[in-house]
Chains A and B, each alone.
Chain A
Amino acid sequence: MSKLITCEEAVKKVKSGSRIMVGGFGLVGSPLSLIAALAQSEVKDLEIISNNLGEPGRGLGVLVRQKQVKKAIGSYFTSNPEVVKAYQDKELEVELLPQGTMSEAIRAGGAGLGGFYTPVSVGTKIAENKEERTLNGKKYVFQEPLKANFSLIKAKKADQLGNLIYNKSARNFNPMMATAADVVIAEVDEIVEVGQISPEEIVTPHLYVDYIVVKGGK
């Protein structure tokens, strides 16, 4: 069964109110063709889990500008002033996590864990409403795992089965997000035959990937 679909077919699977993980560190490693297709669609009230929300009018910033995002969970939103404004205007809810806590929460979500205790953020505003626990004399806060209905990720190359490799620092959150959603859609620059990517090189094995779209494809 081929996993290859178009961006339009991919986006039709997403319903208003869905919780979606989107890969990328800023625009680097972000699935821009899938995001563009989402921006063309009617879906709204999305809950987005992503490190940032793009830049003004670019990447996820388009969805913010079009008021398609209801809530964002991530680590750094100040790089997009329109996100700050939408938050102040109460059009957007924001949940902030330290970047390492966020990436580990996604990893935990995909790995079937019920959460974890981290020392990061103890004693800060971010830990205010979280369970604190002392283990071997050190303070930790509990972090719940993160999961989603969809993950939209970006890879450099897929084979026909959906095995993925990434491109330099564009890897970032994508491999974890590939593990933590009900439906995982990977946008890739190139699709090759099975066997063309060495098993030693594969970062995301195909069992995580449900659908593949090609960057720039409709």
Chain B
Amino acid sequence: MNVKQYIAARAAKELKDGDIVNLGIGIPTLVADYIPSDVKVFLHSENGILGVGPTPDPEHIDQNLVNAGKLPVTVLEGSSYFDSASSFAMIRGGHVSVSILGVLQIDAIGRIANWAVPGKSVLGVGGAMDLLEGSKKIIVTTMHTSNQGESKIVNELTYPITSERIVDLIITDLAVFAVKEDGLHLIELSPGVSLEEVQLKTDAPFLIAKSFNKGKEVTA
């Protein structure tokens, strides 16, 4: 398992039987591969599908059946199709249990930026703002630092904010943080990762939960 798969497998452990789940692009998409066999969830795709199944073999690709990342998918028994307005009514209306999203930055109180980069033309937002607004629970999956080695967990966002909504859980390659009213709580370190490393690579302040899970093993 590479680190991105590790993050996805850890996020999959948060899903509960019966959850309606929306997976963002990138690491979140990988979560589908690690859902425990005794947990049945229903994947919602904002372009109008409830009940998304695995990626098809090349010979079974249907050009009319794609996910929100415009990649070919299949559907499972019991799935349904609907138009975009209905799909976003489901999201805004609070009918999606969990959204798992990638981010560019997270601030010290748990708000995220994931739709635009400063200094570049802002020409895409997609469904990011809708998902943050309406999903009952938001799990962020991300590498702890950017490709340039900068902390993605920052005091203040320098990228444009996606929503005032505070996320619920942050899962990185190094650690897991729960977001509470008083800020970020470290609840878990990844195997082989020290508290010092997380402190060094996290710009925003965080509290250490009383019984944080040091090096909890995550298996697929």
Q: How many Å lie between the Cα of A94 and that of B122 in the bound state?
A: 9
Of the four ranges (under 10, 10 to 19, 20 to 34, 35 or more), the interface on chain B belongs to 35 or more
**The one of A77, A103, A120 that contacts B133, using a Cβ cutoff of 8 Å:** A120
Decide if B212 is an interface residue (CB 8 Å cutoff). Answer: no
A87 lies within 8 A of B127 (CB):
no
Residue ID in chain A nearest B111 by CB atoms: A123
A87 lies within 8 A of B84 (CB):
no
Q: How many Å lie between the Cα of A173 and that of B85 in the bound state?
A: 7
Decide if B163 is an interface residue (CB 8 Å cutoff). Answer: yes
Q: How many residues of A contact B (CB 8 A)?
A: 47
**The one of B65, B91, B124 that contacts A76, using a Cβ cutoff of 8 Å:** B124
Decide if A198 is an interface residue (CB 8 Å cutoff). Answer: no
A84 lies within 8 A of B164 (CB):
no
Decide if A194 is an interface residue (CB 8 Å cutoff). Answer: no
Report the minimum CB–CB distance from B138 to chain A (whole Å): 14
Query: Chain B residues with Cβ under 8 A from A106's Cβ?
Result: 85
Decide if A166 is an interface residue (CB 8 Å cutoff). Answer: yes
B88 lies within 8 A of A126 (CB):
no
Decide if B37 is an interface residue (CB 8 Å cutoff). Answer: no
Report the minimum CB–CB distance from B170 to chain A (whole Å): 20
Interface of A is mostly: mixed
B162 lies within 8 A of A124 (CB):
yes
Residue ID in chain B nearest A28 by CB atoms: B66
Q: How many Å lie between the Cα of A169 and that of B161 in the bound state?
A: 30
**The one of B48, B66, B83, B160 that contacts A26, using a Cβ cutoff of 8 Å:** B66
Residue ID in chain A nearest B83 by CB atoms: A175
Residues of B within 8 A of A (CB): 45-49, 62-66, 70, 75, 81-85, 87-89, 91-92, 116, 121-130, 133-134, 160-164
CB-based closest 9 A-B pairs: A100-B88, A100-B130, A78-B124, A103-B84, A170-B64, A77-B123, A103-B85, A76-B124, A98-B129
Residues of A within 8 A of B (CB): 25-26, 28-29, 51, 75-79, 83-84, 87-88, 94, 96-101, 103-104, 106-107, 118-126, 139, 166-176, 203
Beyond known contacts A168-B49, A176-B85: 10 more, CB 8 A cutoff: A28-B64, A83-B123, A98-B129, A99-B125, A100-B85, A104-B85, A122-B164, A123-B161, A167-B64, A171-B83
